[in-house]
């Protein structure tokens, strides 16, 4: 197969919004067939699953990619040799690979070798001219402007025509891609030297194009801003961001929280990762670990995130994202998200998340308690004042106890061993559950909630909630708390803070 198969091509990227209503093989294949019927010469398809579905329906060249959110690398597009193999097996003709100069799990050269061994052409998704040079040195067939504007700093509004021109001086095989939303922009890219032009959202992402027209009409009519909320959840190891409207997640992404970084750097990384959403949201909601009061952020446990004292989180976010912002503690935001999931049928709930640490939130008579309320993991009564409660219960404690007993196992392995009937593991898990049960009994006396919602990786681990309930069974019914599993999973904080940012709890926060 020769690179000339894409000469003068319109390539249509058929990638649905993840989790959206079109995120199914039948719709992706339908978009692909419609595009080909209208004159597209090639397609760009994400995931082996969708490449396989499209390959069964069309004969044009397919550029295949796999997108991954990795904990230890910002590279998202086809990072592994196994991804190359999967795409080739599914029927892709060309394998597109992130060619940026960033930490990556496998070298670009090795990925190219793997693709060539399978008889496939390769496309380099570049952010700069330097990326393109390196990709060509590695033997890649095409270079594209795909990642220009997406690896740091604010995202431009228009295609990078200048980069197309520069790349065309290195090789004729340049694919223009990124922010090409009109026929005129596509023609400009071709005239700048593009060998082929890729168009995606403007053709196949109904959510995006609808939002463009909706926003334009909202400006023209002067109607209220009902655009989605950009919801951000900043954690110790990773941050989540999502576009949320009406309690539904439209799009999401994940960004590693740089160890040793700064709040400015974390926000900038999120801003860059959500560049394609700029202008689509009317408000920003931030859920962050630690203490957040009046938009000011500080650490309660610097081992989780080393936040400088009194960091102006709300002010910085509004300046960077260009929209009104609200910031609250992440577990408090999750408590509000879980309260919404009940349909607001309960007057008072307490949310308890048990994971690497322990956090919580309280919704009392329909109002979210903010400030220090809900930071149950930092209470010290269980240790006689010696250590925070979370140091004797959470995931770190469980793994440390296993090591103390001579079992070098991580927390999931301890739970598996307990489920398999190994006594040492069952004792550790049961001991942790017993302490949580004591806390839940105390919470019942403090707040008398309708329910205590248990979430987090430990809280929702198989059998843990049952063990807590067993330790509470001897209490009189009036003193026994009602325990329920969290409904929203990892998205509780995002959904909760999006609703709060909309002002749906105005006048109902207890500060």
Q: What is the pLDDT of residues 30-74, one digit of tens each?
A: 999 999 999 999 999 999 999 999 999 999 999 999 998 887 888
Question: What percent of the chain stands above pLDDT 90?
Answer: 65
The SS3 call for residue 373 is coil
Whether 391 and 380 have beta carbons less than 8 Å apart is answered as: no
pLDDT digits (tens, 9 = 90+) for 137-172: 999 999 999 999 888 655 677 899 999 999 999 999
For 23-52, b/e burial (b = at least 16 CB within 10 A) is eeeebbbbbbbebbeeebbbbbbbbbebbb
Domain ranges of the chain: 3-209, 229-333, 344-486
The SS3 call for residue 187 is helix
- How far apart, in Å, are the Cα atoms of 445 and each of 205, 380, 438, 448, 509? 51, 17, 11, 6, 22
How many Cα atoms sit within 13 Å of 67 on the Cβ side?
12
Residue 366 pLDDT level (bands cut at 50, 70, 90): confident
DSSP characters for 244-309? EETTEEEEEEEEE--TT--HHHHHHHHHHHTGGGTTS-SEEEEEESSEEETTEEE-S-TTT--PPT
**Matching CATH topology for 3-209 and 229-333?**
no
Report the alpha-carbon distance of residue 205 to residue 298 in Å, rounded.
39
Angle at which helix 423-447 crosses helix 411-419, to 10 degrees, equals 100
Give the list of residues 6+ apart from residue 194 with CB closer than 8 angstroms, or none.
164, 168, 174, 175, 176
For residue 303, what pLDDT is reported?
A: 67
The CATH number, out of the four listed (3.30.70.100, 3.20.20.70, 3.40.50.720, 3.30.950.10), of the domain defined by the range 3-209: 3.20.20.70
Q: How far apart are the first and last CA of the chain?
A: 66
Whether 391 and 360 have beta carbons less than 8 Å apart is answered as: no
The SS3 call for residue 400 is helix
pLDDT digits (tens, 9 = 90+) for 319-330: 899 889 999 999
Q: Where are the beta strands (DSSP E) in 126-273?
A: 142-144, 174-176, 196-199, 229-234, 238-245, 248-256
pLDDT digits (tens, 9 = 90+) for 248-287: 889 999 998 887 788 989 999 999 999 889 888 989 999 9
The CATH number, out of the four listed (3.40.50.300, 3.30.420.40, 3.20.20.450, 3.30.470.20), of the domain defined by the range 344-486: 3.30.420.40
What CATH superfamily classification does 229-333 receive?
ATPase, nucleotide binding domain (3.30.420.40)
């Amino acid at each position: 197969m020769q690179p000339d198969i894409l000469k003068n091509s319109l390539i249509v990227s058929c990638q649905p919004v993840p989790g959206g209503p079109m995120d199914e093989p039948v719709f992706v294949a339908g978009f692909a067939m419609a595009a080909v019927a209208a004159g597209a010469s090639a397609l760009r398809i994400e995931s082996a699953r969708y490449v396989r579905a499209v390959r069964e329906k069309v004969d044009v060249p397919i550029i295949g990619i796999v997108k991954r959110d990795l904990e230890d690398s910002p590279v998202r597009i086809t990072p592994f040799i196994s991804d190359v193999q999967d795409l080739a097996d599914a029927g892709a003709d060309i394998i597109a690979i992130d060619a940026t100069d960033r930490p990556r799990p496998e070298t670009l050269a090795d990925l190219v070798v793997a693709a060539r061994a399978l008889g496939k052409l390769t496309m380099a998704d570049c952010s700069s001219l330097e990326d393109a040079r390196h990709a060509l040195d590695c033997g890649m067939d095409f270079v594209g402007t795909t990642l220009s504007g997406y690896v740091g700093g604010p995202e431009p509004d228009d295609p990078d025509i200048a980069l197309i021109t520069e790349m065309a001086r290195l090789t004729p095989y340049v694919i223009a891609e990124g922010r090409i939303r009109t026929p005129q922009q596509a023609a400009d890219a071709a005239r700048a030297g593009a060998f082929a032009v890729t168009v995606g959202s403007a053709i196949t992402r109904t959510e995006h194009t609808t939002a463009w027209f909706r926003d334009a009409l909202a400006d023209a009519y002067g109607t209220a801003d009902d655009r989605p909320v950009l919801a951000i959840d900043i954690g110790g190891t990773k941050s989540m961001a999502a576009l949320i409207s009406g309690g539904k997640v439209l799009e999401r992404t994940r960004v590693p929280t740089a160890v040793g970084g700064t709040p400015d750097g974390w926000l900038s990384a999120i801003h860059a990762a959500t560049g394609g959403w700029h202008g689509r949201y009317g408000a920003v909601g931030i859920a962050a670990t630690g203490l957040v009061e009046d938009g000011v952020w500080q650490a309660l446990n610097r081992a989780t995130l080393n936040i400088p004292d009194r960091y102006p989180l709300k002010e910085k976010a509004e300046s960077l994202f260009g929209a009104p912002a609200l910031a609250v503690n992440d577990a408090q935001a999750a408590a509000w998200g879980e309260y919404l999931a009940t349909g607001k049928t309960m007057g008072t709930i307490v949310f308890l998340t048990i994971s690497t640490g322990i956090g919580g939130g309280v919704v009392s008579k329909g109002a979210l308690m903010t400030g220090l309320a809900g930071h149950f993991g930092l209470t010290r009564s269980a240790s006689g004042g010696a250590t925070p409660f979370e140091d004797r219960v959470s995931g770190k404690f469980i793994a440390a106890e296993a090591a103390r007993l001579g079992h070098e196992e991580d927390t999931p392995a301890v739970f598996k061993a307990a489920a398999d009937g190994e006594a040492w593991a069952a004792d550790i898990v049961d001991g942790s559950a017993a302490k949580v049960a004591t806390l839940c009994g105390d919470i019942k006396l403090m707040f008398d909630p309708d329910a205590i919602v248990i979430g987090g990786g430990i809280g929702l681990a198989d059998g843990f909630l049952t063990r807590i309930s067993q330790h509470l069974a001897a209490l009189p019914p009036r003193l026994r708390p009602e325990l329920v599993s969290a409904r929203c999973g990892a998205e509780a904080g995002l959904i909760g803070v999006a609703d709060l940012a909309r002002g749906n709890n105005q006048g109902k926060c207890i500060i």
